[in-house]
Every structure is written in structure tokens, then in C-alpha cells.
Amino acid sequence: MEYVNSFPEGFLWGAATSAYQCEGAAAEDGKKDNQQDVINREIHDEYGYADASVASDHYHHYKEDVALMAEMGFTSYRFSINWARVLPDGVGEPNPKGVEFYHNLIDELRAHGIEPVVTMWHYDLPMALVNKYGGWASRQIIDDFAYYARFILTEYGSKVKYWLTINEQSIVVNYIDRKNKISMEDKFNPKFRYQANHYMNLAHAKAAILVHELVPGGQCGAALDMAPYYPHTCAPADVMAAKNANAFKNYFYMDAYIRGEYTESVMAYLKRQGLDFEILPGDMELIKKGSECFDFLGINYYQSGCVKAPTPGASRRSKENNKIGKGGHVTYEVQPDLFEGCKNENIGETDFSMPIDPMGLQYVLEDINDRYHIPMMICENGFGAYDVLEKDGSIHDPYRIAYIRAHLKAMKNAIANGVKLIAYNPWSAFDLLSTSNGIAKRYGFIYVDRTDDDVKECKRYRKDSFYWYKNVIATNGKNLE
């Protein structure tokens, strides 16, 4: 059922990327290593996937990329700042060339009428801080994150209204997968993860307060990966497991950001499991103050989840991404005595085992709006696939068009039911490194001609979805055909 056929006046249309996944120039112009440079070198050695040294070479192609975005009619673009590019040691001396790069990028966007939406941290902590004290493992990160936030807000605040502090905090905390290592020493010590989560909440709060202090009219948010959890059956124990999963994976993070408090049932569970963390005097006051500066929630929506009552005695296990790109290769999460992930037989999946569920997006948007009454921005949504560059330079990606069309319809329904949606920034503007499958798994509207083995010249090509999305934007989402 479709209720309305329009997006609000002034709705922002664009797409998203993150620094380490697209910039390249990893050791150029004064930039030092970040955690993702190191992790992606490891991934390259182990799986043969491309590392972050060249990525999509956006550092050298940014003008062309912005021109292509403008050709599609973008009015927004979500990207992240590479912390180690502007502050190579994490704190202290800035790197003039790195600082200049983001001025140039932002100016280029503004010159084309594109609103920048900037993420402060998208998985790429400077190695200097990881080596010094283990990154998110130490309370010191809170002040260093605030130092970095103050630096970039002072530098770019007059040109950027929308700021996202942290990308996908719940993913960082919940998944063992290497992309989400909190520090390089981390060996999925669950207790340590919840302490690091607390530090992230404090770092986020400081940065949110700074956005309001330093940016006139500044809007602060954070982007969370958002999957609604469905019960496998209507057996009460399965329904309870779904309630638990939604609290543990979703509300626990939103309650901290938006209400400035921790979800009671989750805190009780963590205590029972011996996973409770240290909260010092003043911490909760800071988190509360940060929540008062939280203006909008970024939603990264790819899929829904399905859970059942946990098998008694099952041990803790994190979800593992499908690394080989053939359906069915996925490991489901287990949280002992709370829930156990399983396959939802009612919906299809991508080749990378991502369940495809547009209605799940309507569900989360309405659920969050009913619960928190907060404006939202889609900061990621998209279809990862093996695209083929034809001899004539065309790329036919009907699967991506179908996926995005269905999700836009779901957004229209949510808007009709009262959801205040600011923007749609799907993943990704152009092809870039996947967190787990190199460059072979592509999400972009713009094809970047390189492979995992051969960087070639990273020449850009327009996919079919490029032209389709251009028309969607031109009609403010009225025409999705």
C-alpha cells in the first residue's frame, strides 16, 4: 500500500561515502596511517581484497566526482573526515595539506549547491592514538575526540551545518569482524566492548555539545545501523527474544544519544552477564547534556534481522559478514539467554546474504518516530553487487534500481505516517572499498574502473542507476519508474 507520492519540500537528495573507503592517497601530503589503513592491508594479505592505499582515488578525482554528483542533481553529500589526514598524530600539529583538502571538497560541493553532511569518525582512528593507548580502550580517547571535534568544527563549521559524530556505534560494539576492531589488540572481549561503548557515548556527547557551541545553526546527529528484529514465530519466547534484540541492538544506543540514559533491561542483562562497565561521577550528566544537543538521527538501513529464543547453554557469538559473495555464507549472532539470530524465510537476500526488506525501513522509521519524535536522515541504504562494465562503457544494474525504488516507496509511507525525514543519502555515491569484500562488491551510482588486483586509472562511468536516480531527484521522488 502506498499512501502519498511526495517527499517534503527542500528534501535533500544525495549519497554517502566514507574517507578510508574512497580517498586513497593514504600516505600522501602528510597523512599518517589510521587503523583502517592497517586493517585493510591485513585484509589484502589474507583475502586478496584491495587495500585503502588507492581505494577509489577520490583524493585526486574529487572535482570530477562532485561534478558527477551535481549532474545527478544532488543537494546533499555525506562523507567523513579522515582524522589522520588533518591531525596525523591524532592531536597536536595539524597537517596543512590535509586541512586544505576538505576545504577544497566542501567549497566544491557548495559551489554546486550540494549540502555537505560530515561524519567525524567512520572507523578510522589515527594509529598514533591506537599505539599510544589502544584507541577506544582508554578513557583518554574522550578528550582526544573532543580535541579533534573542536579542531574540525572550528575549521569547517562556517561551511557545514550537518554533523554526524560516530558511524554505526552499535556495529562497532557488537561485531567481532575485523572492520570493527575497537583497538588493534581487541580479541572480542565483550566486557571491554561495553566499556568502550561508554567512552564512545561520552566522546559523542562532548562533540555534540561542541557542535552547538561552535557552529551557528549547527545540527548534530550520529548514524546508527538500524535493523528491526522480527520474531521467528509468534511463540511468546521468540517474541520476547525479538523484544530483547531490539533493546540490545537498537534502543540501547538510541536511548543514550536521544534520552541521555541507558536502557534498563539491557543494563540488567549486562550486569547478570558480568559485562557491566565503569561509570564515573559526572558521566551520566555529560551524556544527558549531549542528548540535549542531539538534533537528528542518522539511519543506515540495509536489512532487517530475525531472531528466536536462545538455545540454552549456547555461547556468545557475533554475526560474521559473508566474505565470499555467495549466498548462504553467514554466521548468526547469539547473545546467551537473550536471543539467537536466524534466517527469515519470508524475504530474499543479496548474493552477500543481506536480507532485502524495504518494509523494514518503514517499520524502523515509524517505530523511532513514535518513540523519540526526532527528525531522521537516511545516511546509508544500498545494494552491494558484482557490476559489469560493458564494452560500450554502460553498466546495467536493474537490481540496484529495484532495491532503491522499493525503499523510497517505504520512506513515502513512513512520511505519510508522520516521520520527519530530512534527506536520503544512500550508499554509495561512487564505487568504493567494501568493509569486507574489497572493491568487487559495488554500491555506487558511478562505476570506478579498477579491480582488487589492478588499480588502473580509476576512470568513472555512469551506471543505469545514475540516470534513473537523476530522474528521481528531478521529480523530488514523484517518479520512481
d(CA 249, CA 243) in angstroms, rounded, equals 10
Question: Which residue among 225, 238, 255, 333 contacts ligand BGP (CB under 6 A)?
Answer: 225
d(CA 59, CA 101) in angstroms, rounded, equals 8
Q: Does the active-site annotation cover 2?
A: no
Q: Does the active-site annotation cover 155?
A: no
Residue 306, SS3?
A: strand
Work out the end-to-end distance of the chain between its first and last CA atoms, rounded to an integer number of angstroms: 17
Decide if 152 contacts 408 (C-beta within 8 A): no
For ligand BGP (CB under 6 A), the number of binding residues is: 15
Question: Which residue among 40, 167, 169, 304 contacts ligand BGP (CB under 6 A)?
Answer: 167
Which three cell numbers, joined as nine digits, stand for 215? 557552529
* Interface with ligand BGP in residues 17-56 (CB under 6 A): 18, 21
Question: Which residue among 69, 171, 205, 404 contacts ligand BGP (CB under 6 A)?
Answer: 171
CB of 246 to ligand BGP, least distance (A): 18
119 lies in the binding site for ligand BGP (CB under 6 A): no
Judged on CB neighbours under 10 Å (0-12, 13-18, 19+), 39 is buried
d(CA 61, CA 186) in angstroms, rounded, equals 35
HSE toward the beta carbon, residue 203, CA cutoff 13 A: 29
Residue 116, SS3?
A: strand
For residues 400 to 439, the per-residue mask of contacts with ligand BGP, x marking binding by CB under 6 A and - elsewhere, is: ---------------------------x------xxx---
249 lies in the binding site for ligand BGP (CB under 6 A): no
428: cis peptide before it, omega within 30°?
yes
Choosing from 23, 108, 168, 333, which is the catalytic residue? Answer: 168
165 lies in the binding site for ligand BGP (CB under 6 A): no
Question: Which residue among 40, 250, 300, 335 contacts ligand BGP (CB under 6 A)?
Answer: 300
322 lies in the binding site for ligand BGP (CB under 6 A): no
- Which among 85-93, 167-175, 303-311, 392-400 is the span making contact with ligand BGP, rule CB under 6 A? 167-175
Decide if 380 contacts 297 (C-beta within 8 A): no
User: In this chain, which residue has its C-beta nearest to ligand BGP?
Assistant: 434
Just list the catalytic residues.
Answer: 168, 380
| Binding footprint of ligand BGP on the chain (CB under 6 A) | 18, 21, 167-168, 171, 225, 300, 321, 380, 384, 427, 434-436, 441
